[in-house]
Structure 1
Amino acid sequence: MPARHFDGKRVRAARRALDLTQDDVGAALDVSRGTIAGYEANRSFPDGYKLPGYARVLQRPLDELFPRDGEPDLADLRCDAGYPQYKTSEIIGTRSATPVQNAERGVARLDDRFMGPLAAAYGVTVNELLAAQERSFGISTPPPSAAQCSAQALVPRTVTEKINYLLQNAYFGQTPPTDAEIAQAINEAGTTVATADDVRALRTGTETFASPAMRASLARAFQVEPAFFEDGAEVNPAAREVLEGIRFLGSIHQGQILALAARGSNTGLSAGMIAKINELVAELQDKLPDAPGSA
C-alpha cells in the first residue's frame, strides 16, 4: 500500500459525487474498469505516483483525498510529483534510476549535482529534498539550513557511500582502482575475502551488508583507519580524521591552501599558520609509507 492512505470507499464516494462511471475514471488513468473496481473495493491499490492524477480526475486536493501521516521521504516526494522511479533518470541525466533508487532505499545519498534538478522536478526546495533524504535513511531531522547542505553531503554513512567517497575524493588526479583491483588488495593477506563482483555489489548498493571482516579488509585496501568503515563513522573521531584529511589534501591538490599561503599576511595566512601547515604536511609524509622521502 502506498505511503498515503488509500480508502476505496472515499474514492468511490468522490467519483459518484461527480457522476463519473468507473469506465470514465479508468479511461482517464489509462487502466481498466475492473482495476478501478478493485481499488474501490480495497482489493488492490494504485502505485503511489498515480495518486496525484487520481486526485485530479476526482477534482479533490491530494492531501484531502489521500492523507499522509508524518513528513515525506524521497519516495513520497517523487510520488507526489507523479513520477515513476524509472523516469528519474531523465531528470538527473543518468542512464538508469539507480542513484535515486539507492537514495530512496537508504543505501547511498544523492550526489550534489542531482539535488537541483530533482528539487525542481518535485516542486520543493533543496533543503526540503535533503530533509526527505534523511527520512529515507531513517533519520528524522528538520530541514537543514543552507550552510548545512554541503556539509551533510560530504559525510558518507553507509558502506556504499564510503567506498564511493574514497573513489571520488581520495586519489587526487590519479585513476581510482577498479573493482578487480580493490578485490585484489582486499585479498592480499592470502585469504579470499571478496571478488570483484562482491566489491561491485557493495559499490553500487546492490548488496548493503558487509561483514566485519569485509569492512576491515576494505579499510586495509583503501589504507584508511578501520573505524572509517564502522557503522556510525560520521561521528567516530578516527573516521572524522580520515574525512578531514582527505578534504585538506584535496584543497592542497586544487591549489587553494597553497595559493592562500603564498599571499602571506596580505589577507592570507599568518606566518604561524603557514608553519603549522608545514608541520602537518611533514607529519603526513612521515605517516604515509609510500610518500616521497619516507623510509
Structure 2
Amino acid sequence: MPARHFDRALVRSVRRAAEISQSDVANALGTADSTVAGWELGSSVPDLEKLAALAQVLNRPLDVLFPRDGLPDLTDLRCDAGLYRYETAAIIGTKSDGPVAGAEQGVRRLKDRYLPYLAEAYHVTVDEVKRAQDRSMAKASGEQVDGKTTDATESERLPRTLAEKITFLLEKSFPGPDGAPGDAEIAASINAHAGGSVISAEEVRDLRTGVSETTTPLVLEGLAGLLGVTPLYFQPDDEVAAQVYEGLQLLAAHREGKVGRVRARGAGAQGLPPNLLALVSELVDEMQQKASERE
C-alpha cells in the first residue's frame, strides 16, 4: 500500500468546494483532463510524486489531504518533494539515479556527500534524510522500523504506476537468462509485435521513468509479451495486478532460494484467492523437490 492515503471522494469534494475545475488541476500538474477525471472516478490513482502538487492546487496541507501511515522512508521524502527518481541523478551529480535507487530499495547506503544535496531538494534536514534512509534499510532487511518488525517481502510496495510496474519487471523478474533489455531492445520488440513502428526508444524511456504515464493498448500488449506477463498487469486494477505481482515475487524468491518463505507468509496485504494460493503452494513443493534433487 502507498505511504499516503488517496481518497478520491475527498479530493473530488474539496475540488468542487473550492470551485476548481478538473482542467485547472490538470494544467497545474501537467497532465490530461481525463487523467484527473480517472483519479476521481477511481479508475486510476495519481503517482505519489504528484500528491504534493495536487494538495497545493487544492489549497490543503499535504498531511491533511493525504495522511501518511507511519514515518517517511527515502521514497516517501522524494515523493513528498514531487520528484521522480530519475530526477535525482542531476541533484546528486551522477550519471544515473542508481545511488538513490539502491538506497530506497535498502541495497546500499548513500554516500555522505549526496546527503546535503538530497536534503535541500527534499526540503528537509540532513538528519531527516539519514533517519529516512535507516527506515528504508530496515524495511529491506526485515528489522524493526519505528518499533515494529517488518517482513522484507511485505515491505515491498505493490507497483501501482506504469513506470513502477515496468521497473519492477526489469529489476527483479525479467524472465530471460541474459538480463533485462535496454530501451532500444524493448522498442524493437514492441514494434515487431505491432508489425510497424509504434514506439521509439526515447518513448520507452519516458514510460519507464514516469515522464509519460499512459500509452496505447498495442504497446502494452507488446510490452507484456516481452516481459512475460499478462497485459492485465498493466491495467489499473489493483486486484489483478496484485495477483500477478505475487506470482512474480514467487519466481524471484525461487531464484534467490526463498520459496519456502513465500508459502509461509501466505496471502499478502492484497490477498491471494484460495485457488491461486493453492497453486503457489504446489509450485513451491515442486521447486523445493527439484532443488533437493540437484543437491
TM-score, normalised by the number of residues in structure 1: 0.47
- Which structure carries more relative contact order (alpha carbon 8 Å, separation 6+)? 2
TM-score, normalised by the number of residues in structure 2: 0.47
